[in-house]
Amino acid sequence: MNAPVLVTGAAGFIGMHLCRRLLADGRPVVGIDNLNDYYDPRLKRARISLLAGSDGFAFHEADVADRAAIDALFDRHRPRQVVHLAAQAGVRYALTNPMAYSASNLTGMTVILEACRRLQTGHLVFASSSSVYGANRKLPFSESDPVDHPVSLYAATKRANELMAHSYAHLFGLPVTGLRYFTVYGPWGRPDMAIWKFTDALLRGRPIDVYAGGVLSRDFTYVDDTVEATVRLLDMPPAAPGSKDPADWNAAGPDTSWAPFEVVNLGRSDPVSVNELISALESITGRRALRNEMGMQPGDVERTFSATDKLARLTGFTPRVALDEGLRAFVAWFRGYHRID
């Protein structure tokens, strides 16, 4: 059998969809997840149950910060490709539980990098985030923009992950690609995300907390598009560009990286305001929103807006599912999962 793709965070939203796609393509998958209680673990177990009967799928409950457990799994399965999606998610949760981000996002990333270095993995793909753009004002956000002003601890850990990964790519020749995901949504999504919260409130007749007058905007990206781009990039490990001669470094300029490393935006490049999102969900559900107007929240950014030219150049693909189509799919799934008419 071919070497499996190892996917951390396999019980997560993107992780489950990615595993299902890889398995459908006939690729064996080793999934890892610690099934923590940041949100209801029953949802995570339900996602894993969708994968459990698939040929070529093996699941291990383990924490990516547990070096002994992760090293043992790498030694057992010897993956040639790794997709590291496990992380402590959420912007506001970091205000009260910062140590969870240190353990999962920083220690966990170090453990995965070390395991990939030790086994000379052919390609490590990891989840970064659009949140690394922080307080940037230039739009759309481009991979070449400086990202020096994170406005949340979560964003800071994701930027740290990019820097850590680049150092391993430079020092050890480890091919690494960081994916800056832009607000991924769709069936089997996360309960802490706005689309889930708004849909749940609309269908149950509860108020929706609307921050900053609903003018904040996000570049919502449907999960199938996200997975398609991730799979394409997984099979395109970056190569170190050019020469390592110091004379060439000087000629190329001070910002040139000679490491086999890339960061790539994964967004649809079509930001939508919260007010527009609520209106679309009202139309789909046939319910009127009860709004609870709130101020700007700590750690929030005004907008996200992905440039997609690099993704298109590398893969020939850009996300294409329109928001209305994706929302209809999510609401239909949500009604079925919760048995709501």
Residues marked as catalytic: 154
Kindly report the CA angle at 318 between 312 and 319, in degrees rounded to 5?
A: 160
What is the distance between the alpha carbons of residues 152 and 135, in angstroms, rounded to a whole number?
A: 10
Residues in the chain: 341
What is the DSSP track for 196-209?
HHHHHHHHHT-EEE
What is the DSSP track for 291-304?
EEEE-PPTT--SB-
- Those residues whose C-beta lies under 8 Å from the C-beta of residue 273, and which sit 6 or more positions away, are 214, 215, 216, 217
Q: 102: closest CA among 157, 38, 164, 158?
A: 157
Q: 12: closest CA among 74, 76, 90?
A: 90
Answer yes or no: are the C-beta atoms of 222 and 290 closer than 8 Å.
no
What is the distance between the alpha carbons of residues 65 and 34, in angstroms, rounded to a whole number?
A: 10
Q: 291: closest CA among 268, 270, 269, 274?
A: 274
